[in-house]
Amino acid sequence: MENLLLFIQNHAPYLLNHKYLFLFLGGMIEGMNSLVLGGFIASTGQVKLQFLLPLLVVAHTINGYGWYLVGYLGGAKALDKWGHKNKISHQVINKIQDYFKRYSGRTIMFAKFTFSLEIATMILCGSLNYNLKKFSKYNFYGSAGWVAMTVFIGYFFGQSFKLIFTVLKSFTLLVLFLAAAIIIVYILKILLKKYFIGYLTIQEKIKEWTEKIRDCFDDLMKNGVK
Protein backbone atom coordinates (compact mmCIF):
# COMPACT_ATOMS: atom_id res chain seq x y z
CA MET A 1 0.00 0.00 0.00
CA GLU A 2 2.90 2.39 0.83
CA ASN A 3 4.41 1.70 -2.60
CA LEU A 4 1.09 2.52 -4.26
CA LEU A 5 0.79 5.87 -2.46
CA LEU A 6 4.42 6.74 -3.26
CA PHE A 7 3.85 5.84 -6.92
CA ILE A 8 0.76 8.07 -7.06
CA GLN A 9 2.65 10.98 -5.50
CA ASN A 10 5.63 10.67 -7.88
CA HIS A 11 3.57 10.23 -11.05
CA ALA A 12 0.54 12.40 -10.23
CA PRO A 13 0.64 14.62 -13.39
CA TYR A 14 0.90 11.64 -15.76
CA LEU A 15 -1.78 9.69 -13.90
CA LEU A 16 -4.20 12.60 -14.04
CA ASN A 17 -3.91 12.67 -17.84
CA HIS A 18 -4.26 8.89 -18.25
CA LYS A 19 -6.59 7.94 -15.40
CA TYR A 20 -8.56 5.23 -17.18
CA LEU A 21 -5.43 3.58 -18.61
CA PHE A 22 -3.71 3.60 -15.21
CA LEU A 23 -6.74 2.13 -13.44
CA PHE A 24 -7.24 -0.50 -16.15
CA LEU A 25 -3.62 -1.66 -15.93
CA GLY A 26 -3.75 -1.52 -12.14
CA GLY A 27 -6.93 -3.59 -12.04
CA MET A 28 -5.43 -6.14 -14.42
CA ILE A 29 -1.98 -6.45 -12.81
CA GLU A 30 -2.17 -5.27 -9.20
CA GLY A 31 -5.81 -5.76 -8.29
CA MET A 32 -7.27 -4.81 -4.93
CA ASN A 33 -5.59 -1.46 -4.20
CA SER A 34 -6.23 -0.16 -7.71
CA LEU A 35 -9.90 -1.10 -7.54
CA VAL A 36 -10.36 0.77 -4.26
CA LEU A 37 -8.43 3.73 -5.66
CA GLY A 38 -10.69 3.72 -8.71
CA GLY A 39 -13.79 4.04 -6.55
CA PHE A 40 -12.14 6.76 -4.49
CA ILE A 41 -11.26 8.78 -7.62
CA ALA A 42 -14.75 8.24 -9.06
CA SER A 43 -16.25 9.85 -5.96
CA THR A 44 -14.38 13.07 -6.82
CA GLY A 45 -15.82 13.13 -10.34
CA GLN A 46 -12.42 12.71 -12.01
CA VAL A 47 -13.64 9.53 -13.71
CA LYS A 48 -17.16 8.41 -14.63
CA LEU A 49 -18.38 5.48 -12.54
CA GLN A 50 -20.49 4.11 -15.43
CA PHE A 51 -17.31 3.83 -17.54
CA LEU A 52 -14.99 2.78 -14.72
CA LEU A 53 -16.97 -0.23 -13.47
CA PRO A 54 -17.11 -2.18 -16.78
CA LEU A 55 -13.49 -1.23 -17.49
CA LEU A 56 -12.31 -2.67 -14.16
CA VAL A 57 -14.49 -5.78 -14.55
CA VAL A 58 -12.79 -6.47 -17.89
CA ALA A 59 -9.37 -5.81 -16.32
CA HIS A 60 -9.96 -8.18 -13.42
CA THR A 61 -11.42 -10.82 -15.74
CA ILE A 62 -8.24 -10.67 -17.85
CA ASN A 63 -6.25 -11.17 -14.64
CA GLY A 64 -8.17 -14.42 -14.08
CA TYR A 65 -7.32 -15.60 -17.59
CA GLY A 66 -3.67 -14.84 -16.91
CA TRP A 67 -3.53 -17.12 -13.87
CA TYR A 68 -5.55 -19.76 -15.74
CA LEU A 69 -2.80 -19.69 -18.38
CA VAL A 70 -0.14 -20.10 -15.67
CA GLY A 71 -1.90 -23.25 -14.48
CA TYR A 72 -2.46 -24.50 -18.02
CA LEU A 73 1.22 -24.17 -18.90
CA GLY A 74 2.72 -25.02 -15.50
CA GLY A 75 0.34 -27.74 -14.38
CA ALA A 76 0.35 -29.03 -10.80
CA LYS A 77 3.89 -27.71 -10.23
CA ALA A 78 2.69 -24.13 -10.68
CA LEU A 79 -0.04 -24.69 -8.08
CA ASP A 80 2.39 -26.27 -5.61
CA LYS A 81 4.86 -23.43 -6.10
CA TRP A 82 2.20 -20.78 -5.52
CA GLY A 83 0.89 -22.62 -2.44
CA HIS A 84 4.39 -22.88 -0.96
CA LYS A 85 5.16 -19.22 -1.69
CA ASN A 86 1.95 -17.98 -0.06
CA LYS A 87 1.96 -20.54 2.78
CA ILE A 88 -1.16 -22.34 1.62
CA SER A 89 -1.02 -25.89 2.97
CA HIS A 90 -1.53 -28.96 0.80
CA GLN A 91 -4.51 -29.75 3.02
CA VAL A 92 -6.25 -26.50 2.04
CA ILE A 93 -5.41 -26.99 -1.65
CA ASN A 94 -6.76 -30.55 -1.49
CA LYS A 95 -9.99 -29.24 0.06
CA ILE A 96 -10.35 -26.71 -2.76
CA GLN A 97 -9.70 -29.42 -5.36
CA ASP A 98 -12.25 -31.75 -3.80
CA TYR A 99 -14.92 -29.02 -3.61
CA PHE A 100 -14.03 -27.86 -7.12
CA LYS A 101 -14.81 -31.32 -8.52
CA ARG A 102 -18.37 -31.04 -7.21
CA TYR A 103 -19.07 -27.30 -7.44
CA SER A 104 -16.60 -25.74 -9.85
CA GLY A 105 -18.66 -22.62 -10.53
CA ARG A 106 -19.16 -21.76 -6.87
CA THR A 107 -15.48 -22.31 -6.16
CA ILE A 108 -14.32 -19.95 -8.92
CA MET A 109 -16.77 -17.18 -8.01
CA PHE A 110 -16.29 -17.30 -4.25
CA ALA A 111 -12.51 -17.57 -4.53
CA LYS A 112 -12.53 -14.16 -6.24
CA PHE A 113 -13.49 -12.64 -2.88
CA THR A 114 -10.75 -14.35 -0.84
CA PHE A 115 -7.16 -13.49 -0.01
CA SER A 116 -4.54 -15.67 -1.79
CA LEU A 117 -7.01 -18.48 -2.58
CA GLU A 118 -8.22 -16.61 -5.66
CA ILE A 119 -4.99 -17.07 -7.60
CA ALA A 120 -4.60 -20.66 -6.36
CA THR A 121 -8.09 -21.46 -7.70
CA MET A 122 -7.44 -19.82 -11.08
CA ILE A 123 -4.18 -21.79 -11.40
CA LEU A 124 -6.05 -24.96 -10.40
CA CYS A 125 -8.57 -24.37 -13.22
CA GLY A 126 -5.77 -24.10 -15.75
CA SER A 127 -3.86 -27.11 -14.42
CA LEU A 128 -7.01 -29.25 -14.71
CA ASN A 129 -7.67 -27.91 -18.22
CA TYR A 130 -11.09 -26.80 -17.00
CA ASN A 131 -13.62 -26.01 -19.73
CA LEU A 132 -12.70 -22.52 -20.94
CA LYS A 133 -16.29 -21.55 -21.76
CA LYS A 134 -17.45 -22.35 -18.23
CA PHE A 135 -14.38 -20.70 -16.74
CA SER A 136 -15.07 -17.54 -18.74
CA LYS A 137 -18.61 -17.34 -17.34
CA TYR A 138 -17.70 -17.88 -13.68
CA ASN A 139 -14.54 -15.79 -13.94
CA PHE A 140 -16.60 -12.88 -15.27
CA TYR A 141 -19.36 -13.22 -12.63
CA GLY A 142 -16.84 -13.43 -9.80
CA SER A 143 -14.85 -10.49 -11.16
CA ALA A 144 -17.99 -8.37 -11.51
CA GLY A 145 -19.00 -9.03 -7.91
CA TRP A 146 -15.54 -8.37 -6.50
CA VAL A 147 -15.03 -5.18 -8.52
CA ALA A 148 -18.46 -3.84 -7.54
CA MET A 149 -17.77 -4.40 -3.84
CA THR A 150 -14.28 -2.89 -3.76
CA VAL A 151 -15.14 0.09 -5.96
CA PHE A 152 -18.20 0.81 -3.78
CA ILE A 153 -16.04 0.82 -0.63
CA GLY A 154 -13.55 3.17 -2.28
CA TYR A 155 -16.40 5.39 -3.49
CA PHE A 156 -17.99 5.50 -0.03
CA PHE A 157 -14.75 6.57 1.64
CA GLY A 158 -14.16 9.11 -1.11
CA GLN A 159 -17.56 10.67 -0.50
CA SER A 160 -16.91 10.72 3.25
CA PHE A 161 -13.55 12.40 2.65
CA LYS A 162 -15.21 15.08 0.51
CA LEU A 163 -17.58 15.99 3.33
CA ILE A 164 -14.77 16.37 5.87
CA PHE A 165 -12.41 18.05 3.37
CA THR A 166 -14.80 21.00 3.06
CA VAL A 167 -14.04 21.74 6.73
CA LEU A 168 -10.50 20.42 7.16
CA LYS A 169 -8.32 20.59 4.04
CA SER A 170 -5.36 18.24 4.36
CA PHE A 171 -3.48 15.87 2.02
CA THR A 172 -2.72 13.67 5.04
CA LEU A 173 -6.46 13.27 5.56
CA LEU A 174 -6.84 12.07 1.96
CA VAL A 175 -4.11 9.45 2.48
CA LEU A 176 -5.74 8.30 5.73
CA PHE A 177 -9.18 7.86 4.13
CA LEU A 178 -7.73 5.99 1.15
CA ALA A 179 -5.64 3.80 3.47
CA ALA A 180 -8.71 3.07 5.62
CA ALA A 181 -10.69 1.93 2.57
CA ILE A 182 -7.86 -0.38 1.46
CA ILE A 183 -7.44 -1.81 4.97
CA ILE A 184 -11.17 -2.59 5.22
CA VAL A 185 -11.13 -4.45 1.88
CA TYR A 186 -7.97 -6.29 2.98
CA ILE A 187 -9.65 -7.38 6.23
CA LEU A 188 -12.77 -8.46 4.34
CA LYS A 189 -10.67 -10.62 2.03
CA ILE A 190 -8.95 -12.31 4.97
CA LEU A 191 -12.27 -12.93 6.75
CA LEU A 192 -13.85 -14.34 3.59
CA LYS A 193 -10.84 -16.61 3.13
CA LYS A 194 -11.28 -17.97 6.67
CA TYR A 195 -15.00 -18.44 6.07
CA PHE A 196 -14.35 -20.25 2.78
CA ILE A 197 -11.79 -22.61 4.35
CA GLY A 198 -14.17 -23.25 7.26
CA TYR A 199 -17.00 -23.95 4.82
CA LEU A 200 -14.80 -26.37 2.87
CA THR A 201 -13.91 -28.18 6.12
CA ILE A 202 -17.60 -28.56 7.03
CA GLN A 203 -18.39 -29.85 3.53
CA GLU A 204 -15.55 -32.35 3.84
CA LYS A 205 -16.90 -33.62 7.18
CA ILE A 206 -20.43 -33.90 5.77
CA LYS A 207 -19.07 -35.92 2.85
CA GLU A 208 -17.18 -38.25 5.19
CA TRP A 209 -20.21 -38.85 7.41
CA THR A 210 -22.47 -39.34 4.39
CA GLU A 211 -20.11 -42.00 3.04
CA LYS A 212 -19.95 -43.72 6.44
CA ILE A 213 -23.75 -43.76 6.76
CA ARG A 214 -24.07 -45.08 3.21
CA ASP A 215 -21.50 -47.82 3.86
CA CYS A 216 -23.30 -48.77 7.10
CA PHE A 217 -26.63 -48.89 5.27
CA ASP A 218 -25.12 -51.06 2.51
CA ASP A 219 -23.72 -53.47 5.11
CA LEU A 220 -27.11 -53.71 6.83
CA MET A 221 -28.81 -54.40 3.50
CA LYS A 222 -26.29 -57.12 2.66
CA ASN A 223 -26.70 -58.75 6.08
CA GLY A 224 -30.48 -58.51 5.76
CA VAL A 225 -30.38 -60.30 2.41
CA LYS A 226 -28.32 -63.12 3.92
Query: Per-residue pLDDT for the chain (226 aa), expressed as one digit of tens each?
Result: 555 556 555 555 555 667 888 899 988 988 788 899 899 889 888 889 999 999 999 999 999 999 999 999 998 888 888 777 777 777 788 888 888 888 889 899 999 998 778 888 999 999 999 999 999 999 999 999 999 999 999 898 888 877 666 655 666 777 777 888 888 888 888 888 788 777 777 776 776 666 666 666 556 666 654 5
Res 199: pLDDT: 73
DSSP-assigned states of every residue in 53-84: HHHHHHHHHHHHHHHHHHHHHHHHHHHHHHHH
Res 76: pLDDT: 82
Residue 216 lies in a domain: no
Q: What values do phi and psi take at 116, rounded to 5? A: 75, -30
The size of the chain, in residues, is: 226
Distance, CA of 170 to CA of 53 (rounded, Å): 28
Range of the domain at 24: 2-200
Give the count of domains, the chain: 1
Residue 26 lies in a domain: yes
Distance, CA of 128 to CA of 130 (rounded, Å): 5
Residue 207 lies in a domain: no
Residue 81 lies in a domain: yes
Res 169: pLDDT: 65
Residue 32 lies in a domain: yes
Q: Contact at 8 Å (CB) between 155 and 43?
A: yes
DSSP-assigned states of every residue in 154-219: HHHHHHHHHHHHTTS--HHHHHHHHHHHHHHHHHHHHHHHHHHHHHHHHHHHHHHHHHHHHHHHHH
Res 166: pLDDT: 60
Residue 86 lies in a domain: yes
Q: What is the DSSP letter of 46?
A: S
